[in-house]
Amino acid sequence: MKRTIRVGAICALGGLAAACGGGGSSAPGQPGQNVTTYEPGTPVIGATDVFKITSVDDSNNTTVVGYTQQVQSVSGTHSYVLTQADPSNNTAIVDGIDYHFNAATLTFEQGRETALSDTSESGAVQDCVFVPQSGGHPSPWWVGQSFSVSTQETCTPGGVRVVNADGTVAALEQVTVPAGTFDALRLQVTEVWTANGETITKQVTHWVDPAHWFFTIKTVASFTRSGNVPAHYVTSQTVELQSRSGG
> Are 28 and 124 within 8 A, CB to CB?
no
Q: What mean pLDDT, rounded, does the chain reach? A: 84
> Are 22 and 111 within 8 A, CB to CB?
yes
- Which of 16-30, 53-67, 106-120, 155-169 shows the lowest mean pLDDT across its residues? 16-30
Q: Residue 122: what are its φ and ψ, rounded to 5°?
A: -80, -10
Q: 99 or 175, which is more confident?
A: 175
pLDDT at 7: 44
3-state secondary structure the chain: CEEECCCCCCCCCCCCCCCCCCCCCCCCCCCCCCCCCECCCCCCCCCEEEEEEEEEECCCCEEEEEEEEEEEEEEECCEEEEEEECCCCCEEEECCEEEECCCEEEEEECCEEEEEEEECCCCCEEEEEEEEEEEECCCCECCCCEEEEEEEEEEECCEEEEEEEEEEEEEEEEEEECCEEEEEEEEEEEEEEEECCEEEEEEEEEEEECCCCCEEEEEEEEEEEEECCCCCCEEEEEEEEEEEECC
The answer to whether the predicted template modeling score (pTM) of the entire model surpasses 0.75 is yes
Q: How far apart are CA 108 and CA 81, in angstroms?
A: 6
Cβ atoms within 10 Å of 32's Cβ, excluding its own:
8
Q: 8 or 150, which is more confident?
A: 150
Assign a CATH topology to domain 2-245.
YmcC-like fold (2.40.360)
pLDDT at 231: 84
Task: Report the percent of the chain where pLDDT is more than 70.
Answer: 87
pLDDT at 99: 76
Average pLDDT over residues 118-147: 85
pLDDT tens-digit series, residues 60-79: 999 888 899 999 999 987 89
Q: How far apart are CA 49 and CA 109, in angstroms?
A: 20
Q: 132 or 33, which is more confident?
A: 132
Q: How far apart are CA 44 and CA 64, in angstroms?
A: 29
- Which of 20-29, 32-41, 229-238 shows the lowest mean pLDDT across its residues? 20-29
- Which of 7-16, 65-74, 217-226 shows the lowest mean pLDDT across its residues? 7-16
pLDDT at 36: 93
> Are 111 and 208 within 8 A, CB to CB?
no
pLDDT tens-digit series, residues 172-189: 999 999 999 999 999 999
Task: Report the percent of the chain where pLDDT is more than 90.
Answer: 55
